[in-house]
């Protein structure tokens, strides 16, 4: 999932030689899962096309898109006037999304309120990682899966750095995650997904003939859909992350 999302963002950021698309409001609600659990980036209402030059990216419009503060980069929070859309802001949001995939927690879960969380983000603090540490302990005896978790944690922390210029290009993240060794063959993973989907009901289809649901409904750690009638997914493992 993390790899597919990174692949989608990298495409948006480099869809032509002269222009790139900045989504501007990446969050789990805007990542949809198809019936075979492929990830699709949705809701481009706040997206902006920016022109690429050798030195910078320039906004092609005077207005700036919407954002969900809990997933917004700190530079978008510190001033009353919204900064010009930058691909680095999407990269930050991706880091927070990866945190949610690993921890199954909202960004502000370890803070007394979202307001306190946002103030902490401005100062360089980030969502708590206690749940991720528990995940690492659970997979301590499985070297392959643990390596995937360590890689995702590294990607997460690099993407949500305070300085926008220090955040990696999403093409680099895409290639890094694509190179991760799968502990299962593609056929085995497809069989696992097919078996799992026999035991769940997908909710909130975006179109009658293309069932999707927000990423936030899927628990990637223990293999459950938060709002499904039949909770348990069969044969799932960390390779799906």
Contact predicate 16/191, CB 8 Å: no
Between the alpha carbon of residue 170 and those of residues 70, 177, 241, the distances in Å are: 20, 10, 17
Identify the burial level of 101 via C-beta atoms within 10 angstroms of its C-beta, where 0-12 means exposed, 13-18 middle and 19 or more buried: buried
- Residue 88: per-residue pLDDT: 94
**What domains appear along the chain, each with residue ranges and CATH number?**
2-179 (1.10.510.10)
pTM (whole model) above 0.85: no
DSSP helix/strand/coil, 21: strand
Residues 100-158 have pLDDT tens digits of 999 888 999 989 999 999 999 999 999 988 889 988 888 888 877 888 899 999 999 99
Is 159 within 8 Å of 171 (Cβ atoms)?
no
Between 82 and 96, name the one with better pLDDT: 96
pLDDT tens digits, one per residue of 37-70: 688 888 765 556 665 544 444 443 333 457 889 9
- Winning range, highest mean pLDDT, from 50-64, 175-189, 225-239: 175-189
Angle, helices 143-159 vs 170-178, to 10°: value is 180
> Using an 8 Å Cβ cutoff, are 166 and 73 in contact?
no
25, 34, 117, 164 from 66: Cα distances, Å: 7, 25, 19, 19
């Amino acid at each position: 999932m993390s790899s597919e999302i990174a692949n989608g963002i990298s495409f948006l950021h480099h869809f032509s030689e002269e222009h790139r698309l900045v989504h501007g409001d990446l969050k789990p609600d805007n990542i949809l899962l198809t019936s075979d659990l492929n990830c699709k980036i949705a809701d481009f209402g706040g997206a902006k096309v920016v022109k690429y030059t050798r030195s910078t990216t320039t906004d092609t419009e005077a207005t700036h898109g919407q954002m969900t503060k809990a997933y917004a980069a700190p530079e978008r929070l510190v001033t009353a006037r919204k900064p010009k859309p930058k691909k680095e802001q999407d990269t930050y949001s991706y880091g927070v999304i990866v945190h949610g995939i690993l921890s199954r927690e909202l960004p502000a879960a370890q803070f007394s309120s979202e307001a306190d969380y946002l103030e902490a983000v401005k100062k360089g603090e980030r969502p708590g990682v206690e749940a991720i540490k528990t995940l690492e302990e659970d997979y301590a005896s499985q070297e392959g899966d643990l390596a995937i978790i360590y890689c995702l944690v590294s990607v997460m922390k690099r993407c949500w750095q305070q300085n926008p210029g220090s955040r990696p290009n999403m093409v680099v993240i895409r290639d890094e995650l694509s190179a991760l060794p799968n502990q299962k063959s593609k056929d085995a993973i497809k069989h696992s997904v097919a078996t799992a989907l026999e035991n769940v009901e997908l909710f909130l289809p975006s179109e009658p003939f293309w069932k999707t649901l927000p990423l936030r409904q899927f628990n990637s750690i223990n293999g459950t859909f938060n709002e499904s009638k039949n909770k348990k997914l069969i044969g799932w493992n960390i390779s799906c992350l």
